[in-house]
Structure formats: C-alpha cells, structure tokens
Chain A
C-alpha cells in the first residue's frame, strides 16, 4: 500500500534553470497539496489541486511557480528560472475527498532542492 511518492528526492539546479518536482498521491486520493519548508522554518502551504483543477493557490509565489495535476500522471510543481532563495524542501501531501468532513493529509518524503 504505497504512500505518497515524490521524486526526485534531491534535485540540484543552477540559477536560471527550471526545476520540476513530481508527486504521486496515495491510491484513492484525489486531493494534492504542495508545501515548502525553508531552512529552520515550518512548512508553508503553497497550492491545493484536484484532478485538472487548481483550487487554491493562495500560497504560491506569483511569478515563476506553477503547479498542475493532470488527468493522468503525477502532480507537477514547476519552478522556472530558479534563484538561490528557492532552495528548500518541497513536500507533497494527499488526501481523499472529504466533502464537509476533515480528511487528514498524508505526506511524502519531500524533494530537497538546492540551487547553485
């Protein structure tokens, strides 16, 4: 019973390159969340997606960052023209649809992004 799968675990990019982070939710989960953890900080919400829809991107930086969750395949967090300040751990979480009931989020092991 696989959990939330993120890859790669570690990603190194040079300034100006693009970073693509992938997340496959748990089986049966249709809700995906992305969080960013800066050094010595807690996790901060970035974006919430369902299949083919961005529902809440209130925590996403306005430029260079985008996310998608296509009908087939994993969710992708894309960072264009990376800068040193993008160095962080990026975590994906998933949950089943809950309607009006709270559904706990299950986290992946994260992608550690380092910008040279």
Chain B
C-alpha cells in the first residue's frame, strides 16, 4: 500500500524568503504525485502534479516541485514566499486501479509567513 510522509508539521518562513516543503512517498510502481494547498475553511486546490517525464514540474502561484526517484521524494519549492501563501500544504500519491484512481495524503505541513 502507498504512503506519504511530510516530516514537518509546521514551518515558519519570512516573507520574501525561499521555501522548501518536504515530501517522501512509498509506492511500488511509478507514482502519480501531487501537491495541494488548503486555506482555512476551504477545500483543496491543486498546485501541481507529476505523472511522468521532466522531473521538475511547474505549478500555479510560482511553485515548483522536483521528483527524485532515488530518494522517493517530491519536495515543493518557491523562491520567494508571499504572505498569502500561508496555508496548509498536502502532498499526495495517486494509485491507478482498474479504471479509477485513489489518493493517499500526507498529514500536511502548516506554513506560517512572518513579516
């Protein structure tokens, strides 16, 4: 069965500083990997996804993530954080079953942005 680990429960970053959120996954085949963001009281918004091909994927809002198979990682990065980026971030791995998919989520990393 697949699993996702997000080692950092909370991270505080100064506005304008760079950000890296860690994600490690466990999956027997080539994974489908996702990063979602959740603002308080809201649903999940897809930031970016990796299916295959180029291991560096670009997403919305200036985010990118790099798939490293050797490390089973899919870390999320942003070069300069804005106060509006404060939210909870979830990494997820997707499993393709017989004609449908399921997502397994990490427990999330809460990003706090200090002025």
Query: Which positions in A face B, CB cutoff 8 Å?
Result: 4, 6, 31, 33, 35, 40-45, 48, 55-56, 91, 93, 95, 97-100, 102-110, 112
Query: Smallest CB–CB gap between B82 and chain A, Å?
Result: 23
Point out which of B4, B101, B108 has the most chain A C-beta atoms below 10 A from its C-beta.
Answer: B101
Picked from A45, A97, A109, the residue with its CB within 8 Å of the CB of B102 is A45
Q: Please determine whether A42 and B32 come into contact, CB atoms closer than 8 angstroms.
A: no
Picked from B96, B102, B104, the residue with its CB within 8 Å of the CB of A33 is B102
Residue B90 CB within 8 A of the other chain: yes
Residue interface bits B24-45, CB-to-A below 8 A is 1, else 0 = 0000000010101000011111
Q: How far is the CA of A40 from the CA of B46 in the complex (A)?
A: 20
In the complex, which residues of chain B have a beta carbon less than 8 angstroms from the beta carbon of A104? 34, 46, 49
Given the interface pairs A102-B32, A104-B49, the reply to whether A109 lies near B100 with Cβ below 8 Å is no
Q: How far is the CA of A4 from the CA of B43 in the complex (A)?
A: 10
In the complex, which residues of chain A have a beta carbon less than 8 angstroms from the beta carbon of B51? 102
Point out which of A41, A42, A93, A103 has the most chain B C-beta atoms below 10 A from its C-beta.
Answer: A42
Residue B97 CB within 8 A of the other chain: yes
Given the interface pairs A104-B46, A108-B43, the reply to whether A40 lies near B107 with Cβ below 8 Å is yes
Q: How far is the CA of A93 from the CA of B51 in the complex (A)?
A: 19
Q: Please determine whether B100 and A31 come into contact, CB atoms closer than 8 angstroms.
A: yes
Measured CB to CB, the nearest residue on chain B to A99 is B99
Given the interface pairs A40-B107, A41-B107, the reply to whether A95 lies near B101 with Cβ below 8 Å is yes
Query: Smallest CB–CB gap between A44 and chain B, Å?
Result: 7
In the complex, which residues of chain A have a beta carbon less than 8 angstroms from the beta carbon of B43? 4, 6, 91, 107-110
> Given contacts A42-B108, A48-B100, could you give 20 more A-B pairs where the C-beta distance is less than 8 Å?
A31-B100, A40-B107, A42-B107, A43-B44, A45-B102, A45-B103, A56-B97, A56-B100, A91-B44, A97-B99, A98-B99, A98-B100, A102-B32, A102-B51, A104-B46, A104-B49, A105-B101, A105-B103, A107-B36, A107-B44
